[in-house]
Amino acid sequence: MARGTTKSKAKQQPSSVCLVTGCASGIGRHLVGVLVEQGHRVVATDLTLAALKGVAKAEGWPEERVLLKSLDVRDSEAWDRAIEFTLSRCGALDVLLNVAGYLKPGYIHDTEAIEVHKHIDVNTKGVIFGTRAAARAMVPKRHGQIVNIASLAAIAPVPGLCLYSASKFAVRGFSLAVAQELARHDVAVTTVCPDAVQTPMLDLQVDYEEAALTFSGDRVLTVDDVAQAILRALEEKPMEVLIPMGRASLAKVVSAFPQIAGRVQPLLARKGIASQKKVKRGRRSA
């Protein structure tokens, strides 16, 4: 078993070839180990090969089960090369998991243009390019599943994370539409919408008051919470997975009735700021 993984609670599936993005940290890094534990072969990708090699060594990913490939998800031609690499080295592509993401808190009037490009290029275009490339390989074989990671910020708009929320709204809308397009070709598309997850992306938000709503939940999800949800999705092939359901239900209500957001958000923001302060105190005492 690769270091950093936990015993899977989901039903073990037949071995598949899985291409995963964002594998140098966070959810992607953990997910590779979980997939290997389940018996799958993995093509682990991230922006730089050097970072991947360091993570592979630290996690003990078996070379015979995990292939490493650099991939800039913003580049459609790089996506074509990654799919070709997977097919040539593994003989198949059963599952694509679009995990790579980018986030920087900020109010729109303080935001530089480059941040607009980064959020849309990585979070939205990266998923669209990847889905497009994988679908072109899967449709002729009438087989495959694409899992796109969105966020609860794709359901309820999050002030202070407006660019991230917008990019993930686009991911969710695109994925739900594509799920209907590809269903007739026997290719499943699942959108996974988690609440805040304990990753480096969450750590960087602690120092931003704009990100207070991120910390307003009763608990932070672990990377394994998300990994286990993904494993269940590979078995059940739902169109959408929301975790946890309590926060997801609140997000759905706020999305359906935006006018109540002005009442709910100040309360959640105060709770989030208190949580941020608690995290900061923990850092200083560590």
Instruction: Delimit the domains of the chain by residue range.
Output: 17-285
The Cα–Cα gap between 157 and 97 comes to: 24
Phi-psi region of 266 (alpha: psi -120 to 50; beta: other; left: phi over 0): alpha
For the chain, helix, strand, coil in percent to 5 are: 55, 15, 30
Answer whether 241's CB lies under 8 Å from 188's CB: no
Compute CA 71 distance to the chain's CA centroid, rounded to the nearest angstrom.
16
Structure tokens, 254: 């706020």
CB of 120 within 8 A of CB of 169? no
**Looking at residue 3, what is its pLDDT?**
40
Alpha helices in the chain (DSSP H): 26-37, 49-59, 76-90, 113-118, 126-138, 162-183, 200-203, 223-236, 245-256, 261-285
- 164 in active site: yes
The pLDDT score that the predictor gives to residue 282 is 87
Beta-carbon neighbour count of residue 281 at 10 Å?
A: 10
Kindly report the pTM of this predicted structure.
Answer: 0.93
Alpha-carbon span 93 to 77, nearest angstrom = 17
Say what the pLDDT of residue 1 is.
38
pLDDT in the model for residue 261: 86
Which backbone phi and psi does 131 adopt, to 5 degrees?
A: -60, -45
Q: Which stretches of the chain score pLDDT less than 50?
A: 1-7
Assess if CATH 3.40.225.10 describes domain 17-285: no
Q: Residues 102, 107, 164, 208: which is the catalytic one?
A: 164
